Amino acid sequence: MANRPNILMFMTDNQPAELLGCYGNDEVQTPHIDGFAADSFQFDNAFCVNGMCSPCRASVMTGLMPSQHGIHTWIDDRLRHKWPENWNALDEFPTLPEILAEHGYRTALIGKYHMGAPERAQNGFQHWVTSPHGHVTDFWNGTYIENGKTRHYAGHSVDYFTDKTIEYLEGAPSDKPFFAFVPYNAPYGHWPALKGRAKNRFRDYYDGVDMHSIPREGLHENAIARFLRKAADSVGGVDHSSELRIPNDLETLRNYFSEMSMVDDGVGRVLAAMKRLNLYEDTLIIYTTDHGFSLGHHGIWGHSQATLPAHAHRESFSIPLILRQGARFLKTREAHHISQIDLFPTLLELAGIEATDHTQSSAAQSFANGLETGRFDTPDAVFLEQEETRAIRTPDWLYKRRFQGAPSPPYGDELYDLKVDPEERVNLADAPDYGATSKDLIARITRFFDQYTDPRYDLWRGGAPQSNSDKPWLWQEAWGPDWAAGFQRASPKR
């Protein structure tokens, strides 16, 4: 027990890896995270499994793919009237904080939850500070839930969660290790939270930034198709045009970058507190995000489901992943492909807990040994899924496999040769010379999802999500009008 490290995991909201100086952005101001990365183990090819927040958070907590845990897109708070009391989307699964608590850890969530009802602690968390909803409409003047009590804070949400994290660290007893999960609800990337000039303390700096790190490209035809479909399906005149307009709105772009600086400032304050409390060198610290985010690349703003069909381009799936534990890990950058589900067995192993006891049905593999040796025995490939799109990414190839059962005409597959086309511009899926490559990659995708799905939640075989689907109409076309698109919740494990 004494040798088990404290664990602190930062997770941001809607942030691609490239929105950090340490990943090559020369316009964003992130000195604290950049300094941390320079003294840590930084992965340059870490990827989320899905391009939306709720599925990715669930995958980190369980080590499972979305087609195993049943959350395929963001959990829509507007459907709360359909939820059972205190609904927990992960109740049937052993979760990372639950396992750590069972092995003597004190566990805390301080930040965004978005995996079910937030009114009281879930998933093995003992200390519970969160927002009453998953989406972000305003960073300011918020209401929060603090261990069952409602609190109001007039300032910025990042400052609130930072203050509460420091309070927790200051009060942490020394007789047990802690697991503190700090999922900030920023930088976010959407209206209305980002509309207009920022109000935070970093806004003046970005007034003079020309934003050359944001690509200036014409709108992707699939982004327009997505907008037209959402507009046609919209109830109550909801405006879905923001994803088409934001890449050319300088105020929003500068606002978004300034929110990244707010996160950096919060991380810096927490790390400074850990040093002051003599916790820094003995704590396993992780910096990551829930999922990537396209910043106008390919004419797309935002999530992987910002297009129709959902895409799997790098920007919406590439995530920062930086780890440090004193002198235990190498201080280096690594190009090996890592999936965010691999955090589950890795953190358990680093905590001295036998991960195989909890990962029997999981594709997740620990990379703990690689952090100390630089040698990785896990496959140099990752698998991704976004409802109708499943993909494999290797150092050489990106293949996007599309569900073929609906609609008519079907969505086409895509293949990219990453060695000669790293920006993923030329689709080779129908090129005769690449037939053997396509066949091999399709077979790998098929084998993977044959093994790592649960029939209840496998949309490609008629299953349904625990929560909501982004495209219920597609699955109704495939499986009939009685396909149960909403809330196919499994029985709780106890």
What tens-digit pLDDT sequence spans the chain (494 residues)?
447 999 999 999 999 999 999 999 999 999 999 999 999 999 999 999 999 999 999 999 999 999 999 999 999 988 888 888 889 999 999 999 999 999 999 999 999 999 999 999 999 999 999 999 888 999 999 999 999 999 999 999 999 999 999 999 999 888 899 999 999 999 999 999 999 999 999 999 999 899 999 999 999 999 999 999 988 887 655 677 888 999 999 999 999 999 999 999 999 999 999 999 999 999 999 999 999 999 999 999 999 999 999 999 999 999 999 999 999 999 999 999 999 999 999 999 999 998 776 666 899 999 999 999 999 998 999 999 999 999 999 999 999 999 999 887 789 999 999 999 999 999 999 999 999 999 999 999 999 999 999 999 999 999 999 989 999 999 999 999 989 754 455 444 54
The DSSP code for 50 is: S
Cβ–Cβ < 8 Å for 315, 293: yes
Domain identity same for 335 and 438: no
Q: For residue 488, what pLDDT is reported?
A: 52
Per-residue tokens: 209: 């930034």
Report the distance separating Cα 387 and Cα 364, nearest Å: 20
Domain identity same for 140 and 264: yes
Bin 309: left if φ > 0, else alpha if -120 < ψ < 50, else beta.
beta
CATH number of the domain encompassing residue 438: 3.30.1120
Residue with the two structure tokens 């069972």: 102
Domain identity same for 379 and 397: no
Establish if 488 belongs to a structural domain. Answer: no
| Reduced DSSP (H G I as helix, E B as strand, rest coil) percent helix, strand, coil of the chain, to 5 | 35, 20, 45
Q: How many beta carbons lie within 10 A of that of residue 11, not counting itself?
A: 22
Cα distance from N-terminal residue to C-terminal residue, the chain? 27
Domain identity same for 97 and 33: yes
Report the distance separating Cα 355 and Cα 380, nearest Å: 21
CATH number of the domain encompassing residue 94: 3.40.720.10
Report the distance separating Cα 241 and Cα 228, nearest Å: 9
Q: How many domains does the chain have?
A: 2
* Nearest alpha-carbon partner for 342 in 327, 321, 328: 321
Q: Which residues pair with 332 in a beta bridge?
A: 41
- Three-state DSSP state, 232: helix
Domain identity same for 297 and 263: yes
Write b or e for each residue in 408-424: b if 16 or more Cβ atoms lie within 10 A of its Cβ, otherwise e: eeebebbbbbeeeeeeb
Domain identity same for 331 and 455: no
Residues in Cβ contact with 37 at an 8 Å cutoff, skipping those fewer than 6 apart? 20, 22, 287, 322
Per-residue tokens: 49: 């499994």
Domain identity same for 216 and 347: yes
The DSSP code for 248 is: G
Give the structural domain span for 445.
392-479
Establish if 494 belongs to a structural domain. Answer: no
Q: For residue 491, what pLDDT is reported?
A: 47
Establish if 282 belongs to a structural domain. Answer: yes
Report the distance separating Cα 49 and Cα 363, nearest Å: 11
Q: Which residues pair with 42 in a beta bridge?
A: 322, 333
- Beta strand 397-402 with 389-393 is antiparallel
The DSSP code for 228 is: H
Domain identity same for 149 and 250: yes
Domain identity same for 315 and 412: no
What amino acid occupies position 11?
A: M
The DSSP code for 193 is: T
pTM: 0.96
- Domain boundary (383, 412, 436) is at 383
Domain identity same for 356 and 256: yes
Write b or e for each residue in 288-324: b if 16 or more Cβ atoms lie within 10 A of its Cβ, otherwise e: bbbbbbbbbbbbbbbbbbbbbbbbbbbbbbbbbbbbb
Q: CA dist 37 to 32, 115, 226, 415, Å?
A: 9, 29, 37, 33
Domain identity same for 317 and 420: no
Cβ–Cβ < 8 Å for 387, 73: yes
Cβ–Cβ < 8 Å for 262, 202: yes
Q: Which residues pair with 129 in a beta bridge?
A: 110, 146
CA-based torsion, 10, 16, 22, 26: positive or negative? negative
Residues in Cβ contact with 64 at an 8 Å cutoff, skipping those fewer than 6 apart? 58, 93, 341, 361, 362, 364, 452
- Residue 320, preceding bond cis, omega within 30 degrees? no
Q: For residue 235, what pLDDT is reported?
A: 61
Q: Which residues pair with 20 in a beta bridge?
A: none
Report the distance separating Cα 61 and Cα 166, nearest Å: 23
The DSSP code for 490 is: P
- Domain boundary (336, 357, 383) is at 383
* Nearest alpha-carbon partner for 121 in 88, 85, 155: 88
Write b or e for each residue in 250-269: b if 16 or more Cβ atoms lie within 10 A of its Cβ, otherwise e: ebbbbbbbbbbbbbbbbbbb
Establish if 85 belongs to a structural domain. Answer: yes
